[in-house]
Each structure stands twice: as C-alpha cells, then as structure tokens.
Amino acid sequence: MSLRPAETCLIFHVLDLDRTEAFYHALFGLTFERHQAVNQNFIFTRLSADFSMSFMLGEPCPGRHPFPTFTLSGKQMHAVIEELGRQGGHLLDPVSPAPYGLGAVLADPDGYRIGLYQPITLPSPLQNDTA
C-alpha cells in the first residue's frame, strides 16, 4: 500500500476569517471557498492540484503554525501512525474529528509538527453570507 499523501495543505489558525480572506486576496489575488463543518468554520484555497491552504478560527500560534498537513488517500491514518514510531517520530495530538474527516498531529524526529488528515466525506462550499 502506498502511503503517499493525496494532497498537502498548510493549516493556519486566525482570529478573523473575513480579514484573512481580504488580506490574501488583496496581496496575492487568492480566492477562497467558505466551509462550515459541524464544529468549525474555515476558508480554503487551492494553490495547485495537490497543494492548498486552510484558515480556521482559533488562536494564532506563530512559530507553531502553519504546519504541513498531509491528506491521506483511503483509510491510511492508522498505518501512518503505526509507522511513525519506527521512523523516530511521535504522536502529539491523537486522532480526533476534523472538518469532514479525521485529523492528528505528529512530530518528526527533529520535532517539526506535521498534520495528518483523512477525509470521510467531501466538503461543500458555503456562500459568503456575512451581511
């Protein structure tokens, strides 16, 4: 089984989604999809077929965020976590619910944070109704 990720996404925690969207649009012309999962609102932009950025409401943590988050194909989460220890890494945050799937955070042998994401369902963009 190949453990190659299907996508890499940088995850940012921000205080204001509207401000963040306006900032990145003004500087780089990025356009965003708005999403609302059961417990999280976020904006999402795709930079290429296999690279994206997500901005979620939360406490900004410069120095700890962003971190690359690898989207896994199929049900690979547990296989990657099993291999983690053999490769000298360790689990920082256990597998838990994430928007439209499951997520976990691990550390590589040097302590760099890496996210894992396994989708369960496909997200659907929401209209921007901030009026």
Q: What is the pLDDT of residues 96-105, one digit of tens each?
A: 988 888 999 9
Quote the strand ranges of the chain, DSSP E: 7-14, 33-36, 41-48, 51-57, 67-71, 90-98, 101-107, 113-119
* Predicted TM-score (pTM) of this structure: 0.63
pLDDT tens track for 6-37: 888 988 888 899 999 998 888 778 899 998 87
Q: Which residues contact 30 (CB under 8 A, 6 or more apart)?
A: 24, 45, 47, 53
H-helix or E-strand containing 23?
helix 17-28
C-alpha to C-alpha distance for 47 and 8, rounded to whole angstroms: 10
Q: What pLDDT does 1 receive?
A: 47
pLDDT score of 45 more than 80: yes
pLDDT tens track for 103-117: 999 887 767 788 888
Q: Which tokens belong to 15?
A: 């205080």
